[in-house]
Amino acid sequence: MTTTPDLQTLSDFLDSQRPHVAELDQGLDQVLTAVLAASRQISYDLQQGALAGILGSADTDNVQGEVQKKLDIIANDSLIDALKRCEPVAGMASEENDDCIANNPAGRYLVLFDPLDGSSNIDVNMSVGTIFSILPVTQTPVTKESFFQPGSRQIAAGYVLYGPATLLVLTLGNGVNVFTLDRDQGEFYLTASQLQIPADTQEFAINMSNQRHWEAPVQRYISECLAGKTGERGKDFNMRWVASMVGDVHRILSRGGIFMYPYDLKDPKKAGRLRLMYEANPMSFLIEQAGGQATTGRQRILDVQPNDLHQRIPVMLGSAVEVRLVTSYHG
């Protein structure tokens, strides 16, 4: 039995936002509803796990040369099916598809997504997520180039975190709100409003196994954190790494912290590990909307002009004081 009678549903929340967000009257809510219909299905698939025979590798590679898991493909298909049926969607682009997919030529929105983020966590029953970014159509007909808008143009962005609870974390450009899925009713309820990331933190998230490959500014920042109370920073730091950006960003939105996936020299041709358009941009929008900062170390992420659907970028985001400090080290 569920006990959520006096919480606001997502659709009531969206109605309450209509006076403040003009796009909601132009079908943005239908786009969100489509993304969430797919997410509900993904949440159910993940819950079934081995019982549904959907764990493990699909033995195929995506455009980035990464081996796809069965659930990467299932989640991608769910999102594409739902968005294709959604009239306001003019086109979509996914981590798992080389090219963009055109939809309704009269649609107003472009949707980019990482259908399953942190997919190395699937087979060990740890948290994963779906990340999405919604851009306006600014030119027709829609081509790949139509998607190449800086993150500052996003109309909405968010993620669904499939953890012990399934959560939607959403921004429409006026703050960040959290909704929890009631699995019995299939309804998302508002459970936290207007998140604010503390400016100060004593927690960092980075894959330490890459340390020897980092550039000097990141080496300096992390070694000062590791030096703790008796070092330059005069305080001890804690470290966390979920191996799913959705999980790490959710912790930072909940209690502060800094997340970094910097450029490294392991493969100098790669600009970074994470992808600008469906990982860095939506997460940076959420982080800024909650009072945090997001940079590449050298530039605000939301100002970067994209030139490829799958381009990679260094990412440093979270508590403002720490992001400012590591960015200042990049000179």
Residue number with CB closer to ligand AHG (147 or 189): 147
The site that binds ligand AHG (CB under 6 A) totals a number of residues, namely 13
Please select the residue that binds ligand AHG; options are 103, 119, 130, 293, rule is CB under 6 A.
119
Per CB under 5 A, 203 contacts Mn ion: no
Per CB under 6 A, 207 contacts ligand AHG: yes
Q: Which stretch binds ligand AHG (CB under 6 A): 85-93, 118-126, 167-175, 185-193?
A: 118-126
Please select the residue that binds ligand AHG; options are 243, 271, 321, 325, rule is CB under 6 A.
243
Per CB under 6 A, 170 contacts ligand AHG: no
For the bound state, the minimum distance from the C-beta of residue 316 to ligand AHG, rounded and expressed in Å, comes to 13
Q: Which stretch binds Mn ion (CB under 5 A): 88-96, 146-154, 206-214, 229-237?
A: 88-96
The site that binds Mn ion (CB under 5 A) totals a number of residues, namely 4
Please select the residue that binds ligand AHG; options are 118, 151, 158, 282, rule is CB under 6 A.
118
How many CB atoms are closer than 10 A to CB 91? 24
Q: Which 116-135 positions form the footprint of Mn ion (CB under 5 A)? A: 116-117
Residues within the interface to ligand AHG (CB under 6 A): 66, 95, 114, 117-120, 207, 243-245, 261, 273
